[in-house]
Amino acid sequence: MVFSSNVFLFLFLPIFLGLYYLCPNRWRNLLILIGSYAFYAWWRVDFLLLFVAVTLWNYAIGLRIHTHAGSQAARRWVVAGVVGNLATLGYFKYANFGAANLNAVLESFGLEPFLLTAVILPIGISFYIFQSISYLIDVYRKDTEPTRNLIDFAAFIALFPQLIAGPVLRYKDLADQFTGRSHSLDKFAEGATRFMQGFVKKVFIADSLAPLVDHCFALDNPSTGDAWLGMIAYTAQLYFDFSGYSDMAIGLGLMMGFRFMENFNQPYISQSITEFWRRWHISLSTWLRDYLYVPLGGNRHGTFNTYRNLFLTMLLGGFWHGANWTFLIWGAWHGTWLAVERALGVKAAPKLFSPLKWALTLLLVMIGWVIFRAENLEVAGRMYGALFAFGDWRLSELTLAQISGLQMVTLALAWVVIGACGARQFLAARRAEAPLTAVGAGADAGAALQALDLRLLALRGALLLLFCASLLKLSAQSYSPFLYFQF
């Protein structure tokens, strides 16, 4: 089940929210667990058993770590827990990849290939395994108390708004919200608004760009114009698809009284790759920093080791996205630039806007997105060859016959929205740093508040109209899953 489906919007969500608010507070976490399991089982019931097994494993290991806190036994338990989680993720996510590459080596030496029945990748396993690992490590570090309430822990792991594609949540950030959280009409309205915003991003923009991106990356002989069009379109599609999902997840959480961390912060206004990773998929980048980069040594053991740790963190972060050489290369690409920027002393939060730094950063990000999107190295090589051939900048006849005017308008609109939101955030940050003027402050503030109320009312009205239009589009289009479901 996905958020952008009629089954979820008109059946699951209304029933769940209705029961949730009719249910007494003490039973709401149990209802979240039951609803989340039903949400997950809609895909495949058998993999729900794996999900439950992983939950019970981590619940038990967490208690054992706490029981032996501060001893070598606690260390052994956390190692066992992390290894068990990684082994589960490794089998389901990387067994096919490992077998395929092993067979390629065996066949090159004239040996018989290794036979392995294709392993199905459970949806969301990358996210709930990472959340489980962070829980065990936090308990070991004494950053959080383990919960003895199995229902609360299972509900945290299974929480359906973020179950399929994040954000990657941490129990220590939500522990208090599971024992007591506030519910109000204002909070529910904020959540509904955020959900609609994400829905419009996904259905109205990302889904409209998907056929254009698919076409450009499927061309056997793309022109330079085709390749650049595909790269630019995918850069927008991925952002609106994934940030749209995050908005919807955060909105659903607010409707249930939870407040999740933000996952995106206008990443395409970044002026360095370092800044980009503080703005893109924030929950993952902070997870990689706290549970991979820091344990590797961070920047504590000399310059060379710092560069090595940055590179390895991003390499493994890339591989987390999928069992494909393309993701490893993508991770290495970003890891290399992070190390280069660290060597050059690049600041992650510049106070002045530099068009040149911004353009270079965006270009590096887009170049990386090509191999991230490509199905294999052959497709990536074909796209890169066309991108940098600087030959025929015209679109091929196949592309001209395939694309529609609406798709091109949507692409232009997507980049206008990205630019406008980025500029607004940058200007707001600059205004926040400027000193306040006391003269006429009262009258100006009153007028400003009134204008703000009218503006918010107009924006919410426009959002509601766009949401209704997106619902109509959803009903007319074919099934289109979120891009991050594959990870």
Check whether residue 76 and residue 132 sit in a common domain: yes
Residue 219 lies in a domain: yes
Q: Which amino acid is at 486?
A: Q
- In this predicted structure, the answer to whether residue 460 has a pLDDT above a threshold of 90 is no
Count of structural domains within the chain: 2
Q: Looking at residue 276, what is its pLDDT?
A: 96
Q: Looking at residue 308, what is its pLDDT?
A: 93
Check whether residue 230 and residue 161 sit in a common domain: no
- In this predicted structure, the answer to whether residue 442 has a pLDDT above a threshold of 80 is no
Write out pLDDT tens, residues 195-246.
Answer: 999 999 999 899 999 999 999 999 999 999 999 999 999 999 999 999 999 9
Q: Looking at residue 45, what is its pLDDT?
A: 87
Check whether residue 194 and residue 175 sit in a common domain: no
**Spatial CA neighbour of 126 closest among 339, 260, 327, 371:** 327
* 167 preceded by a cis bond (ω within 30 of 0): yes
Residue 299 lies in a domain: no
Q: Looking at residue 435, what is its pLDDT?
A: 53
Following DSSP, what letter does each residue of 13-62 receive, concatenated? HHHHHHHHHHS-GGGHHHHHHHHHHHHHHTT-SHHHHHHHHHHHHHHHHH
Residue 274 CB: number of other CB atoms within 10 A? 20
Q: Average pLDDT for residues 76-98, to the nearest whole number?
A: 94
Q: In this structure, what is the dihedral angle of CA atoms 46, 47, 48, 50, given to the nearest 10 degrees? A: 110
DSSP 267: G
Q: Average pLDDT for residues 132-160, to the nearest whole number?
A: 94
- In this predicted structure, the answer to whether residue 254 has a pLDDT above a threshold of 60 is yes
Residue 402 lies in a domain: yes
- Two tokens, residue 485: 């479901």
- pLDDT classification of 438: cutoffs 50, 70, 90: very low
Residue 385 lies in a domain: yes
Q: What separation in angstroms does the CA of 27 have from each of 22, 23, 31, 390, 479?
A: 10, 6, 6, 62, 34
Q: Which of 97-111, 158-172, 310-324 is the most confident on average?
A: 310-324
- Report the alpha-carbon distance of residue 76 to residue 89 in Å, rounded: 20
- Is residue 261 within 8 Å of 326, Cβ to Cβ? no
**In sequence order, which ranges of 345-440 are alpha helices (DSSP H)?**
355-373, 377-387, 397-402, 405-433
Residue 396 lies in a domain: yes
Helix (H) or strand (E) holding 126: helix 125-140
Check whether residue 144 and residue 262 sit in a common domain: no
Q: Looking at residue 430, what is its pLDDT?
A: 66
Rg (the chain; Cα; Å): 24
Helix (H) or strand (E) holding 287: helix 282-288
- Report the alpha-carbon distance of residue 466 to residue 413 in Å, rounded: 14
- Is residue 192 within 8 Å of 352, Cβ to Cβ? no
- Report the alpha-carbon distance of residue 260 to residue 251 in Å, rounded: 9
Check whether residue 199 and residue 143 sit in a common domain: no
- Residue 197 has φ and ψ, to the nearest 5°, of -60, -45
Check whether residue 208 and residue 262 sit in a common domain: yes
- Is residue 64 within 8 Å of 77, Cβ to Cβ? yes
Q: Answer whether 0.85 is exceeded by the pTM.
A: yes
Active site residues: 321
- Report the alpha-carbon distance of residue 128 to residue 403 in Å, rounded: 38
Q: Average pLDDT for residues 174-182, to the nearest whole number?
A: 91
Residue 418 lies in a domain: no
- Among 132, 156, 180, residue at a domain's last position: 180
Check whether residue 85 and residue 143 sit in a common domain: yes
- pLDDT classification of 453: cutoffs 50, 70, 90: low
Check whether residue 233 and residue 382 sit in a common domain: yes
Return the higher-pLDDT residue of 1 and 171: 171
Q: Looking at residue 228, what is its pLDDT?
A: 96
Check whether residue 73 and residue 153 sit in a common domain: yes
- Total residues found in the chain within this entry: 487
- Among 152, 180, 208, residue at a domain's last position: 180
Write out pLDDT tens, residues 327-339.
Answer: 999 999 999 999 9
- In this predicted structure, the answer to whether residue 387 has a pLDDT above a threshold of 50 is yes
Residue 256 lies in a domain: yes
What integer best gives the mean pLDDT of the chain?
A: 89
Q: What percent of the chain has pLDDT over 90?
A: 65
Check whether residue 103 and residue 169 sit in a common domain: yes
Residue 237 lies in a domain: yes
Burial class (CB in 10 A: 0-12, 13-18, 19+), 327: buried
Q: Average pLDDT for residues 339-367, to the nearest whole number?
A: 90
| Residue whose tokens read 């199995």 | 150
Check whether residue 380 and residue 263 sit in a common domain: yes
- pLDDT classification of 166: cutoffs 50, 70, 90: confident
Q: Looking at residue 11, what is its pLDDT?
A: 92
Range of the domain at 246: 188-271+350-406
169: number of CA atoms within 13 Å, CB side? Answer: 30
| Residue whose tokens read 């032996």 | 68
Check whether residue 33 and residue 121 sit in a common domain: yes
